[in-house]
Structure 1
Amino acid sequence: MSDAAIAEKDLGNAAYKQKDFETAHVHYDKAIELDSTNITFYNNKAAVFFEEKKYAECVKFCEKAIEIGRETRADYKLIAKAMSRAGNAFQKQGELKTALSWFQRSLSEFRDPELVKKVKEMEKALKEAERLAYINPQLAQEEKNQGNDFFKKGDYPSAMKHYNEAVKRDPENAVLYSNRAACLTKLMEFQRALEDCDTCIKKDPKFIKGYIRKGACLVAMREWSKAQRAYEDALAVDPSNEEAREGVRTCLRSNDEDPEKAKERSMADPEVQEILRDPGMRMILEQMSNDPGAVREHLKNPEIFQKLMKLRDAGVIQMR
């Protein structure tokens, strides 16, 4: 390594710190002329171009630094640094995918903790940007209509493809989850259907079909108590809805399962088990057994209310 080249590099560094970029270039060029095999000189010159916002030139010298670094088997951290700087140059130009590619290359050389964090954030941001760019309610409606046509023909797998695409195109539309739930029920994928029903209800608590479809799915699973609860929730939205009323009547007529067997089956439900393991809930249940009137206060807490309803539907407790 040439002492004269190092001296020129040091002069370039001093000028860089003073933001005298023109002088810095002069010294780095002189260092390269004296020793063309030192990756640091190219890296430093790329840094000057970056500060000058001359991003194309910056990337060019980063690539040259990588080339020289490979030829001379330079420290992998220096090669990673050149790749990372090229990524920063592309990021400044708004070319995020290209920037991410350079950052990932840099991490393959050296896993700098800060860059790891930055890459994760960029990947997340890019994925979200792609998702948002894909949203198109008009195309979602077209996909839904095509799905409905296949559904009416009984071609449920084809209907599913269109409903899936509709949901991707308009993920906040509660109706789409309801339609897909109906299709999943026909395909006997009941758990996924229930998930779509719950999503539908969450996105639009007033959309009554979400509750009715949930009830229908639970009826298909012979979960009569849970189905009845879904239909009752529908009636809470619209007391005059005949489909929900008939659903409740169907559940009452059909729920002829032995109470002890039903309770035994419900106790195997992981959610029920989790509630019963909760010390706070055990204390509430004990209090309720000693003082039935105590339940009124607990029902004011939405979280406890939901847990008590779950236990009621499972046949673990009785509530009127």
Structure 2
Amino acid sequence: MEAEDGRAAEAQREKEAGNDAYRKQYLETAVDHYTRGAALDPRDISFLTNRAAAYLLMSKYRECVRDCEEAVERGRELRADNRLLARALSRKASALLKLAACAADYAPAIRALQQSLAEHYSEDTRDKLDQAETARKEIEERERLDQEAADHHRQRGNELFQRQNYQEATAHYTEAIEKNPNDPRVFSNRAQCHIYLGNLPKGLEDAEKCIELDPTFLKGYVRKANVQFLMEYYESALATYIEGLKCDPNNLVVIDGLRRCAACINRSNGGDVGPDDLEDILGNVSSDNDLRNKLQKLMEEAAALKKEASDERLRRIESERMPGHQRTYI
């Protein structure tokens, strides 16, 4: 019992020292005192809320949120005074509001303020809630207007694309991206414009961004593979087409792309690509045996077409060598 009383008294001294350092704006020192106090008396959640206040002034908002959440959880287990819980939730909301200014997401702060008011009503907390809700509405309205502008520029870009005016279409797609940088369709469309304009590195960059935004958007893989094919990176294009095949195993554009890649790889290797070569080409791109079997079949088809063309050429040469054959010159 005496030991517990001694620890509680020492914890109180740490709190007083922390409060004194906090008032003097020695925030790191205050955090150290509150941390030692919390270890000495874990039943007193004020150590956590006080440390959270220091973190808030230090702009360590995530640490502040963490301490407030721990204070609320521990306080409810200990059935602490509702005002202490409300204070922790309000302080958490203050940190979340700072984070919201960067992330433009006020929902977590609003939720924390509502919870704080449910624990204990405070005019200051009510004012914070009103301000947060106003800020959220302003952001939502701005996002709505930006989305309308993005849609307008995307549609205008599509019209110009249909007219083969790729330069102006690219400009409108760029405007759309500035208003809404999270639409994979616009990156896909602009990538195709770059391809037609011969700007392959930019096309590759947009295609990769499209895939990053939506890994299930097939056109992103098609655009990327097209660029790689045009750059004569046939094995890379092959790998990209395989990734696209996972989105739609029966897509004719992708299957045709695989055939073209297989044919080019066959031609550059001077013959057929066997199973061992296929492993080297694919690396760890796919562990799906069905995809590997399908690709092998496509490569075999490409090799057969190559052989058929070669045999036809030989027959034509032999025919020209036959007696009585007359050449016709144009």
Q: What range describes the TM-score normalised by the shorter chain of this pair?
A: 0.3 to 0.5
- The TM-score, its normalising length taken from structure 1, stands at 0.41
TM-score w.r.t. structure 2 length? 0.40
